[in-house]
Homo-oligomer: A and B are copies of this chain.
């Protein structure tokens, strides 16, 4: 028999769909989240001996997620912080973990008398994300969003790239630039108005995307990152994973038609995939916050 050891591990209950209605007045509020709790610590016995003495059931983690919602959500970051502190405080052998949430946005329905008190319609295509990780005495928060679909119908080009024997792409100074933004940013403080910062980062990402001529999607990501890091000193780093969602100009010449960038075919696969991180300080390139966060290089 080979001697084998347990490496990195975590476990918990994933995708608890928590909906919290605040109904202190006739004007209800809704918070709608998908919450995952995962514990880290001393879990050798359950893996090697089938001894569950340390194995806090995933069912218990689920119950705790719902019970803690009773005291209100507030923001996904604050709610996850409360959960993480509970689990690491409650069980000696739980030395850390990862608590993550997706949050969905609802807007009020326009009723007969304006904004409705308790009827809502799902708004926006993007999802807000948050990850809190604890490792002993360290706590880190990564906020983000995903599936924010944006498109520029001009003011984008791609020229001056290296050519080799496999290059067939023609240069262009006018094309559609489209992507579905996944962005994650790392906070350097735990005491923030997370909802306000989130709203402003979202605004800045959109403005940064739209502002200047794009020489490449990489170039535009830098402008988006710069807008965020300039305005928010509480953010040390922002990472992007962005498909280049190709829109090809359709060749209408066989049908005797010109097509001056009017009719496009939106392709599915393959797609460009641009991933990059922007930081204040290169020393933080490998910050441990990203260990448990998928999807970036």
Q: Which of A19, A124, A165 has the most CB of B within 10 A?
A: A19
Q: Which of A274-297 contact B (CB under 8 A)?
A: 274-282, 284-285, 291-292, 294-297
Cβ of A119 within 8 Å of any chain B Cβ, yes or no, is: yes
Cβ of A252 within 8 Å of any chain B Cβ, yes or no, is: yes
The answer to whether B11 and A280 have CB atoms under 8 Å apart is no
The answer to whether B219 and A297 have CB atoms under 8 Å apart is no
Count of this chain's copies in the oligomeric assembly: 4
The answer to whether B28 and A111 have CB atoms under 8 Å apart is no
The answer to whether B40 and A297 have CB atoms under 8 Å apart is yes
Q: Which of A167, A210, A244, A268 has the most CB of B within 10 A?
A: A210
Q: Which listed residue, B118, B167, B297, touches A291 by the CB 8 Å rule? A: B297
Cβ of A14 within 8 Å of any chain B Cβ, yes or no, is: yes
Q: Is the interface of A mostly helix, strand, loop or mixed?
A: mixed
Instruction: Please name the residue on chain B nearest to A15 by beta carbon.
Output: B269
* Given A30-B151, A91-B162, A264-B21, A230 and B1 contact (CB-CB distance below 8 Å): yes
Instruction: Please name the residue on chain B nearest to A226 by beta carbon.
Output: B4
What are the interface flags for A238-268 relative to B under an 8 Å C-beta threshold, 1 for contact and 0 otherwise? Answer: 0100011001001010111101111111111
Q: Which listed residue, B5, B176, B254, touches A21 by the CB 8 Å rule? A: B176
- Other than the given A4-B226, A118-B153, 13 more pairs (CB < 8 A) read A2-B230, A4-B280, A5-B278, A7-B276, A15-B269, A17-B267, A21-B153, A30-B153, A50-B219, A55-B218, A66-B250, A119-B210, A121-B151
